Amino acid sequence: MNKPQPFNIIVSLLGALILLFIIAPLIGMVIATSPQDIIETSKDPEVQNSIWLTVWTSICSTIFFAIAAIPLSYLLAKKTFRFKHLINGIIDLPIVIPHTAAGIAVLGFISRNSYIGKLSSNIGLDFVGHPAGIAAAMAFVSIPFLINAARDGFAKVPLKLEQAALNLGASPSRVFFTISLPLAWKSVLSGLIMMFARGMSEFGAVVIIAYHPMITPVLIYERFSSFGLKYARPVAIIFIAVCLIVFTILRLLSKEKYLTNNVRNKKHIKKFRRF
C-alpha cells in the first residue's frame, strides 16, 4: 500500500475544513430546531404562500428573461462585433455589485416615476410591491449565470456544423433551433437551473423592490428581526429543504437526460463493435 503523501493529507484536511464550514451551520440549525416547530411552521399559510411565491416568481423570471438571454448568449459566442468585451463585462456587473444596490438600481428603473413604471401603470401593472417586480429583481441578479453558461455552451458548438446546416439549405433561425441550441442545450439547461436557484435565494435586491408580497428570504428576515432567531429558524430550514429538493430534482433531470443519451450511444458502440 502506498504511503499517503504529506501534500495530499494537507489538501484533504483543508478540503474537509471547508466542507465542515458549509455543512456545520446548516446541521447546527437543524439540531437547534425541534421537529414540532418545523411541522407547525410548515402548516403556516404565510410560510406556504411565501415559498410558493418564491418558487413560481423565480420560474417565471427565468423563463421570461431566458427568451432574450439565450439568443444574446448565442450572439456573444458566435459573432464578432465592436464592444463585445464591454458587453461581456456589463453582463457580469450584477454579480459584483452589492445586491441592495442592484435593488436600488432596478427600483429606479421600474418605479412609478420611471418611464417603464408609468407605461406599465397605464396597463394596470405596478412593478413595486408586485410579483412582477420581484421577478425583475431576481432576474437582474441571476441572469449572468444563464448568459455565461449558455455562451460557453454555444461557443463549443463547432462552426462547421452550423455551416453544414446552412449549406443544406437551412435558414439561420432553423440552424439556431435545430443545431446550435440542441448541441448547447446541456450548458443552457445548467444555466437555467443556476439562474432559477440564484433567483429563489435572492434577498437584497427583492427587499428593496417588494417587501410585500413576501418571498421566503424576506419572510425569514422579517421573522428574525421581529421575533428573533427561534422563529426565523424553522422557516429557514423548510426553505433550505425546498431549495435543495428542487435543485436536486432539476440537476437529476438534466443529468438523467445527459446520461440517457450517453448510455444510448454506448449501447450503439457496443452493438457496432459486435459487427
Partner 1 sequence: MLEIKNISKNLGDFNLKNLNLSVKKGDYFVLLGISGAGKTILLEIIAGLISPDSGEIFLNKKNITKQKIQKRQIGLVFQDYAIFPHLNVKNNIAYPLKNKNLSAFEKNKQILKLAEEMNITHLLNRKPATLSGGELQRVALARTLALKPEILLLDEPLASLDIQLKDELRHLLRNINKKGQTIIHVTHDYQEVISLANKIAIINNGSIEQTGTPNEIFQHPKSQFIANFTGIKNFFKAELKNKQAIINNSIAFTLLTDKTQGKGNVLINSQDIIISENKVESSACNNFKGIITDIIPAPLGIEIFTDIGIKMVALITTQSLKKLNLYKGKNIWISFKASGVIFLEN
Q: Does 178 bind partner 1 (CB under 8 A)?
A: yes
Residue 160, interface with partner 1 (CB under 8 A)? yes
Closest approach of Cβ 240 to partner 1, in Å?
A: 36
The residue among 84 and 268 lying less far from partner 1, judged by its C-beta, is 268
Q: What is the dihedral of CA 188, 189, 190, 195, to 10 degrees?
A: 90
- Taking residues 181 to 210 in sequence order and writing x for each that binds partner 1 by CB under 8 A, - otherwise, the string is -xx---------------------------
Determine, following the binding rule CB under 8 A, whether residue 274 of this chain makes contact with partner 1: no
Residues 206/149, Cβ–Cβ less than 8 Å: no
State the cell numbers at 18: 471547508
178 vs 248 by CB, closer to partner 1: 178
Q: How far is the CB of 9 from partner 1 (least distance, A)?
A: 41
Contact 132/125 with Cβ under 8 angstroms? yes
Is residue 263 at the binding interface for partner 1, with CB under 8 A as the rule? Answer: no
Question: Exactly one of 15, 89, 98, 158 binds partner 1 (CB under 8 A); which one?
Answer: 158
CB 129 within 8 A of CB 57: no
Separation of alpha carbons 212 and 216, rounded Å: 11
162: CB partners within 8 A, 6+ apart: 78, 175, 179, 180
Q: Which of 12, 121, 163, 260 binds partner 1 (CB under 8 A)?
A: 163
Contacts 24+ apart (CB under 8 A), 227-233: 230/37, 233/29, 233/32, 233/33, 233/37
Task: Work out which of 179, 205, 206, 208 binds partner 1, going by CB under 8 A.
Answer: 179
Residues touching partner 1, count (CB under 8 A): 23
The three cell numbers of residue 172 are 439561420
Residue 107 binding partner 1, by CB under 8 A: no
Residues found near partner 1 in the complex (CB under 8 A): 158, 160-161, 163-171, 174, 178-179, 182-183, 264-265, 268-269, 271-272
